[in-house]
Structure 1
Amino acid sequence: MRKKWMGLCLGLMLAIGLAACGTGNDANDNNNGGETGGETGGETATNDAEEIVKNNCISCHGDNLEGRNGPALAQIGSKLSKDEILDVIENGRDGMPGNIIQGDDAEKVAQWLSEKK
């Protein structure tokens, strides 16, 4: 019985230790990417925005922003300003929940989409 408890405790400590290590590495990678994006300028910000859209938006707006369940965004910049797009991202609209993207990422995506004309 004692060996079972020792094994269980050892396994639990190992699992907690590995989980903690994995989380720290992801956070550092995200922070470094964010700092680099701010320092290098437009091209990195555009790449960041495209990646953010790819990860969060294409399921509804399509791979090429042609629209699926949600409206087409391929030329949304000719209809809405950056601030209007940011408002939709933050507050939602017509079936789209708000805050799917937040903070600096929302700003980057709003800027990128506002240039789609």
Structure 2
Amino acid sequence: MEDKQMNYKLLSIILLALSLSACGNKEQHAEPAAVKADAATVYKNFCISCHGANLQGGEGPNIQKVGERLSEEEIILRIQKGGGGMPPFQVALKDEELKALATWLAGLK
């Protein structure tokens, strides 16, 4: 019986030590504040309904090679301000989403 109590005490001490070690410097284990946006996800959530699953166009124009016509900065402005029938998305998109989407689209040549 005495060995069993000793094992429980030892186990309790080990569990306490493990619990306390997890309480250390939280900054080392914290998730980044802004998770890098995934351009494909942003496209699916905001653009696919007008520009199509393959960027082929529909209600909006074909943007399969938009990077040949517009720079990344021009794409950012078009997404933010809209124009030519496109609504503005300045309020709807976070900065990192906008940047990821524009970078990806600018690379389509």
Same-fold call, TM cutoff 0.5: yes
Secondary structure of 1:52's aligned partner = helix
Equivalences for 1:69-80 in 2 at 5 Å? 69-80=59-70
* Structure with the larger RCO, 1 or 2 (CA within 8 Å, 6+ apart): 2
Moved over 6 A (4+): none
- Partners of 2:74 and 2:67 lie apart in 1 by 10
Q: Do the aligned partners of 1:81 and 1:114 also contact (CA within 8 Å) in 2?
A: yes
TM-score (norm 1): 0.60
Matches within 5 A, 1:1-117: 34-35=34-35, 37=36, 48-99=38-89, 100-117=92-109
How far apart, CA to CA, are the structure 1 residues paired with 2:62 and 2:87?
16
CA distance in 1, matches of 2:87, 2:40: 20
**Could you say what secondary structure the match of 1:54 adopts?**
helix
Structure exhibiting the larger radius of gyration computed from Cα positions: 2
CA distance in 1, matches of 2:100, 2:32: 16
Q: Distance in 2 between matches of 1:103 and 1:75?
A: 23
CA distance in 2: counterparts of 1:59 and 1:81, whole angstroms: 23
Q: Distance in 2 between matches of 1:34 and 1:53?
A: 18
Q: Which has the higher helix share?
A: 1
Instruction: Give the paired residue count.
Output: 77
In structure 1, distance between residues paired with 2:57 and 2:33: 29
Structure 2 unaligned segments of length 5 or more: list them: 1-30
Give % identity. 39
